[in-house]
Amino acid sequence: MGESVRSPRAFVALGAAFAVLVLGFVRLPVQLAALCSPITPRDQNGIIALLVPAVVASWGSSDAEPTADLLALEGYWMRFHLFKAAFAMAATVVIVLLGRALWRAGHVWGAALLAAPGLLGLVALLANLQGAVAPGPSLQSMLPLPRDGSLGAVLLDVRADLARQGSGVVRSVRVDRLITDFALYHWVFAALSGVTAVVLAVALLRWRHTPAPSLADARSARRARRVLLIGGALSSLAWAVLCVANLSNALHPVSGLLGWLRL
């Protein structure tokens, strides 16, 4: 990395870019997802207000396909998560570049402190990619509690339909789609978290053998490296656990759905 990236001006520019991207992550996806969309919810309450009647009409119908309202919501939610993922990815790249520049410039503890926002950016990226690939189950997790009235009645009917799956009863189209979407939702995160765990572990093994920055105090550099290696190893282990947990739901989607519907 060139000397220009180690200058205070470059650090400030990267920090400012990160702040702008975080602000964009929080503020802009709602507006961007609503472009060319038949629905324009302003916030989470607006989404829930549209979601409940759409779920009741779609899941309570005998039609093979979801209603137009539910499909419009899923399309909006997919775009929302895609924009969120784009901002999260850009912010994560910037924080990695800033941390790398600080480390090479000898500011080892400053670089170490950036591991936390870097990890949060990675979590946001993977979670939003999951929501973009499988927007249906992501939306369903927003259904309010308690689930009574017409929503409760439809969910009870779906749960009874699911409970009959092990008795040789032919699946209804409605339940078949729910099971497929729920399994996909967890397959996606199992794959993403598994790849992340492996890549992080390999990166840590390679990085532990790189020389300390010449501009840093050797003792501080060793301590900072130790903290980062331990934190990185724990993070890699956590991603592996998430992979296994999601893999379990992906392989047994009916039991996972039944557990969710009992909430």
Over residues 217-237, the pLDDT tens digits come to 788 888 899 999 999 999 999
Q: Compare 210 and 91 and report the one with higher pLDDT.
A: 91
Query: Which pLDDT band holds residue 62 (cuts at 50, 70, 90)?
Result: low
% of the chain at pLDDT higher than 90: 53
The span from the CA of 13 to the CA of 86, in Å, is: 20
Amino acid symbol at 206? R
Nearest to 251 by CA among 193, 190, 174: 190
The span from the CA of 138 to the CA of 133, in Å, is: 10
Length of the chain: 263
% of the chain at pLDDT higher than 70: 92
Q: Compare 41 and 5 and report the one with higher pLDDT.
A: 41
Confidence at residue 158, expressed as pLDDT on a 0 to 100 scale:
85
Over residues 138-187, the pLDDT tens digits come to 998 888 877 778 888 888 888 888 877 655 555 677 788 889 999 999 99
Nearest to 182 by CA among 126, 123, 143, 136: 136
Q: DSSP state, 166? A: G
Confidence at residue 263, expressed as pLDDT on a 0 to 100 scale:
56
Amino acid symbol at 47? I
